[in-house]
Amino acid sequence: MTTQQILSLNAFQPEEGVGLADDVARLVARRQRSFGASSVLFYQQPLHVVSASGAMIRTADGSEYLDLYNNVPSVGHCHPKVVAAVQEQVAQLNCHTRYLFDNVHDYAERLLATFPTPLSNLALTCTGSESNDLALRIVRQATGGAGFIVTETAYHGNTAAVTEVSPSSYKQGTPPRHVRMVPAPDPRNFPGDLGAGFAAAVRAAIAGLEADGIRFAGLLVDTIFSSDGVFADPPGFLKPAVEAVHAAGGLFIADEVQPGFGRTGSGMWGFARHEVVPDVVTMGKPMGNGIAMGGVVTRPELLAGYCDAFGYFNTFGGNPVAAAAGLAVLDVIAEDGLIDNAAQVGGHIAERLAAARERCPAIGDVRGAGLYLGVEIVSGDAPDPEGAKRLINALRDRHILIGAAGALGHVLKVRPPLCLTLEQADRFVDTLEDLISA
Ligand code: PMP
């Protein structure tokens, strides 16, 4: 079975775009004219969206869709508290970041308080890609190494250096020699002790780099392995791999762009479920609930080592509007009880889907943590990417938005705003069962 490039998953194919509504067809044509080959849209019938709130998105024709895909508006689309904070700040001041602002320090201190003690410095960026780019540079500088280890279907962003450590971006060829891949931490890849097996793969990759004369720098993983197909359990399985990295003189970068900010339903960070303290943590998407912001948290000496050599300045990173959004996001996560909600509603979906398996043999493994679930679509024992694609488009026709993940694209990725209600969760499971039975 062929592996899929991440941007191809569930992507709109112009040749399949028959019967598009007039407004959609016109926008698709304009988009293709302006954005050319870089245009990526979801669904066979792309959506023309105009407004949103909570976990609902509205389209230009007045329809409402249940959003199970978006981790950018992570605390809910257009959350009133985030909107008000941004509006107030943007009306007062926004500019480059070489002045003193109160709110950015309130933000930095609040955010850093959620990390283990050694991780006490923060560099603010605008995207997850910028965060990972800086993390790679910090780790290279600290170790003197160039070799990085990532998972086979990893995605970490879009800069030149970060694309090299994102095997799922490759449409052809393989990553360069300084990048080594290990299989996803899928229990089927590592029967028996998953943690020991994954650590052994990391050790073998380190040995491979050294054998080729490339000094090992670090291991970079998304701590919920989302593009690999969502692998969260058992908690703690990452620990032996991180120990192996440190034993070899390397550093561990935890990419929290996907699991971070409470999504896993137990604390703020995905790495904490694994009882490890990363050397560098990178953040992005959910941080500003739609305002572009990202960040890198690390130990002061690692940041200083890098800044001694190069320095770091980011014109927009940590601007006062982003800080206002970030503060409001932290408030809402606490005030709306979103971490508990992720645990409760995510657990409910997982339980119902596991129970539905008997009636719906197309549902394979169901896994994940909190409101980040992977649901395998299978035909017999075999992965069924075509079936997953059909379901995604059929769900869209029933006004439920969802995406795919995994090397083959057969894993439904359930990743809604963290405010999803039990009723909305039931609507999804009922509709999925209905479609599979039909
Ligand atoms: N890391 C992970 C795990 C991601 O999923 C993404 C984006 N999907 C990124 C980094 C890059 O973030 P951005 O698109 O904000 O640059």
Tens digits of residue pLDDT in 322-356:
999 999 999 999 999 999 999 999 999 999 999 99
**Residue 86: inside a domain:** yes
The residue with greater pLDDT, 11 or 143, is 143
| Best of 153, 285, 314, 415 for a ligand 1 pocket test (most atoms within 8 Å of beta carbon) | 285
| Strand-by-strand arrangement of the 294-298 sheet | 121-125, 294-298, 280-283, 251-255, 216-222, 147-151, 179-182
Mean pLDDT of 283-303: 98
pLDDT at position 6 is 73
Is 122 found in the same domain as 269? yes
Whose alpha carbon is nearest atom 2 of ligand 1?
A: 156
From ligand 1's centre to the CA of 155, what distance in Å? 7
Residue of 436, 371, 326 lying closest to 81 (CA atoms): 326
Q: Could you say which of 290, 312, 335 is where a domain stops?
A: 335
pLDDT at 231: 98
d(CA 151, CA 253): 13
Residues 321 and 394 in one domain: no
Q: What is the pLDDT of residues 163-177, one digit of tens each?
A: 999 999 998 888 999
Using CA atoms, how far apart are residues 131 and 127, in angstroms rounded to an integer?
6
244 and 106 inside one domain: yes
In a domain, 152, yes or no: yes
| Residue located nearest, by CA, to atom 4 of ligand 1 | 156
Which one, of 383, 401, 391, lies nearest residue 432 by Cα? 391
The boundaries of the domain holding residue 229 are: 80-335
For 21-30, 150-159, 241-250, which range has the lowest pLDDT when averaged over its residues? 21-30
Largest Cα span, the chain:
62
Q: Are residues 92 and 164 in the same domain?
A: yes
Ligand 1 centre distance from Cα of residue 157 (Å): 5
Question: Could you tell which of 257, 258, 282, 413 is best to mutate to test the pocket of ligand 1, judged by most ligand atoms within 8 Å of the CB?
Answer: 257
Q: Which residues contact 311 (CB under 8 A, 6 or more apart)?
A: none
Write out pLDDT tens, residues 87-143: 999 999 999 899 999 999 999 999 999 999 999 999 999 999 999 999 999 999 999
Out of 17-31, 144-158, 367-381, 389-403, pick the least confident: 17-31
Paired tokens of 348: 């409910």
Q: Are residues 215 and 329 in the same domain?
A: yes
Cβ neighbours of 355 (radius 10 Å): 14
CATH number at residue 164: 3.40.640.10
Interval 416-438 mean pLDDT: 97
Stretch 288-294: mean pLDDT: 97
In a domain, 69, yes or no: no
Q: Whose CA is nearest to atom 13 of ligand 1?
A: 128
Question: Is the predicted pLDDT of residue 17 greater than 70, yes or no?
Answer: no
Do the bridges between strand 251-255 and strand 216-222 make them parallel or antiparallel, or are there none, so unpaired?
Answer: parallel
Asked whether residue 342 falls in the same domain as residue 331, the answer is: no
Residue 432 lies in a domain: no
Q: Mean pLDDT score of the chain, rounded to an integer?
A: 96
The pLDDT of 381-387, averaged and rounded, is 96
Residue 32 lies in a domain: no
Q: Kindly state whether residue 114 falls inside one of the protein's structural domains.
A: yes
Give the span between the Cα atoms of 340 and 313, in whole angstroms. 37
Is the pLDDT score of 220 beyond 80? yes
* In a shared domain, residues 348 and 311: no
The tens digit of pLDDT for each residue in 306-326 reads 999 999 999 999 999 999 999
The atom number, within ligand 1, closest to the CA of 157 reads: 11
Q: Are residues 217 and 342 in the same domain?
A: no
Q: Of all residues in the chain, what percent carry a pLDDT higher than 90?
A: 91
Residue 70 lies in a domain: no
Choosing from 6, 7, 156 the residue with most ligand 1 atoms within 8 A of its CB, the one to mutate for a pocket test is 156
pLDDT digits 0-9 by tens, 181-218: 999 999 999 999 999 999 999 999 999 999 999 999 99
Q: Name the band, by pLDDT with cuts 50, 70 and 90, for residue 406.
A: very high
- Tell me how far the alpha carbon of residue 138 lies from the centroid of ligand 1, in angstroms: 18
List ligand 1's pocket residues with C-beta within 6 A: 127-129, 132, 155-158, 222, 255, 257-258, 284-285
Which of 42, 125, 130, 155 for a ligand 1 pocket mutation test, highest count of atoms within 8 Å of Cβ?
A: 155
Q: Output the CA 148–ligand 1 centroid distance in Å.
A: 18
Give the count of domains, the chain: 2
Exposure of 205 in the CB half-sphere (CA atoms within 13 A):
28
Q: Are residues 347 and 259 in the same domain?
A: no
Atom number in ligand 1 closest to CA 284: 15
Is residue 6 domain-resident? Answer: no
Say how many Å lie between the CA of residue 131 and the centre of ligand 1: 9
319 and 353 housed in the same domain? no
Are residues 240 and 142 part of one domain? yes
Q: Which candidate, 399, 154, 373, places its Cα nearest to that of 253?
A: 154
Which residue, by CA, sits nearest to atom 12 of ligand 1?
Answer: 128
How many Cβ atoms from other residues are within 10 Å of residue 358's Cβ?
8
Residues 204 and 323 in one domain: yes
Question: Ligand 1 centroid vs 259 CA: distance in angstroms?
Answer: 11
- 368 C-alpha to ligand 1 centroid (Å): 19
Q: What angle separates helix 422-437 from helix 338-356, to the nearest 10 degrees?
A: 20
Atom of ligand 1 nearest to the CA of 158: 16
CA of 151 to the centre of ligand 1 (A): 15
Could you tell me the distance, in angstroms and rounded to a whole number, from the CA of residue 255 to the centre of ligand 1?
Answer: 9
- Centroid of ligand 1 to alpha carbon of 5 (angstroms): 15
